[in-house]
């Protein structure tokens, strides 16, 4: 289903969009309005970073954009499909094919190796195991983990686990990758290598990136900077 309010040209170019997105959390007698009517359009090949104070709603927005949480109001569309109107099975398929994720908790599968974890989106998609593992090995190499492919998550450091999650997010060549503090746990050298990899993929494959970061230097390298404050998302001038 396509969004009838969006012109055809924009639909073709838009990989991810939200309109009037609101989210409130209720705990006991208190309701907190975290997001209040957020609009965002991510075009194919666009690099975009989101900054804001701790607790301002950055992670909440990424969760909603990735279809991992349900908005109180508003819509999220991925490749023109309103994800909250899809069945769970169709939403999972669309997420697998169109999006990559690096969230703060990396959700690596503990019983699988780094290589298998990184290959997981392709294995789920039904890609031949040998091809999936080869592609995953290439990405792990690019994030500096070629010596750790057989390790399980429990035998990896926090930064290494983060890099496995980055390889997993990129392995399926999604149209758009959502990243929550992707270099937060990394030393300067590895953070720089990851940034270069993301920028290269953006240039070579037209991958779009939405990156939440506290690092203003990284934000400024990642295209347009948006700031969340008081439930609103605004472009930094
Ligand atoms: N499941 C939940 N139930 C209740 N409140 C929640 C829930 N998830 C988030 N919140 C609240 O929503 C607000 C925004 O949280 P969020 O994690 O999106 O902030 P953030 O900008 O990502 O912060 P940080 O930079 O510290 O990671 C916070 O005040 C948080 O307490």
Q: Residue 151 is part of a domain; what is its CATH number?
A: 3.40.50.300
ipTM of the complex: 0.97
Ligand 1 centroid to Cα of residue 46, in Å, is 26
The answer to the question of residue 13 being in a domain is no
Total domain count for the chain?
1
The answer to the question of residue 205 being in a domain is yes
The answer to the question of residue 72 being in a domain is no
For ligand 1, which residues put their CB under 6 angstroms from it?
Answer: 25, 27, 32, 34, 52, 54-60
Packing angle of the helix pair 158-171, 129-142 (nearest 10 deg): 130
CB 183 within 8 Å of CB 145: no
Ligand 1 centroid to Cα of residue 58, in Å, is 8
CB 144 within 8 Å of CB 160: no
Which pLDDT tens digit goes with each residue over 142-188?
Answer: 888 999 999 999 999 888 888 999 999 999 999 999 999 888 878 88
Which pLDDT tens digit goes with each residue over 205-236?
Answer: 888 999 999 888 888 888 899 999 999 999 98
The answer to the question of residue 231 being in a domain is yes
The answer to the question of residue 173 being in a domain is yes
Nearest CA to ligand 1 atom 16: 57
Which pLDDT tens digit goes with each residue over 16-59?
Answer: 999 999 999 998 899 999 999 999 999 999 999 999 999 999 99
Ligand 1 centroid to Cα of residue 54, in Å, is 8
The predicted pLDDT at position 154 comes to: 94
The answer to the question of residue 140 being in a domain is yes
């Amino acid at each position: 289903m396509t969004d009838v309010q969006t012109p055809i040209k924009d639909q073709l170019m838009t990989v991810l969009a939200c309109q009037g997105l609101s989210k409130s959390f209720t705990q006991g007698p208190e309701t907190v309005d975290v997001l209040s009517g957020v609009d965002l359009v991510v075009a194919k090949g666009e690099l975009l970073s989101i900054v804001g104070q701790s607790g301002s709603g950055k992670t909440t927005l990424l969760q909603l954009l990735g279809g991992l949480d349900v908005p109180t109001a508003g819509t999220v569309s991925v490749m023109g499909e309103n994800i909250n109107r899809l069945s769970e099975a169709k939403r999972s398929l669309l997420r697998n094919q169109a999006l990559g994720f690096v969230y703060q908790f990396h959700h690596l599968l503990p019983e699988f190796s780094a290589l298998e974890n990184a290959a997981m989106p392709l294995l789920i998609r039904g890609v031949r195991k040998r091809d999936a593992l080869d592609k995953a090995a290439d990405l792990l190499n690019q994030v500096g983990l070629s010596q750790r492919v057989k390790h399980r998550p429990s035998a990896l450091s926090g930064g290494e686990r983060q890099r496995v999650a980055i390889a997993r997010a990129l392995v399926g060549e999604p149209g758009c990758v959502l990243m929550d503090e992707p270099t937060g746990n990394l030393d300067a050298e590895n953070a720089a290598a990851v940034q270069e990899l993301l920028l290269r993929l953006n240039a070579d494959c037209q991958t779009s990136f939405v990156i939440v970061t506290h690092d203003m230097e990284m934000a400024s390298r990642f295209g347009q900077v948006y700031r969340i404050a008081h439930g609103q998302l605004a472009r930094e001038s």
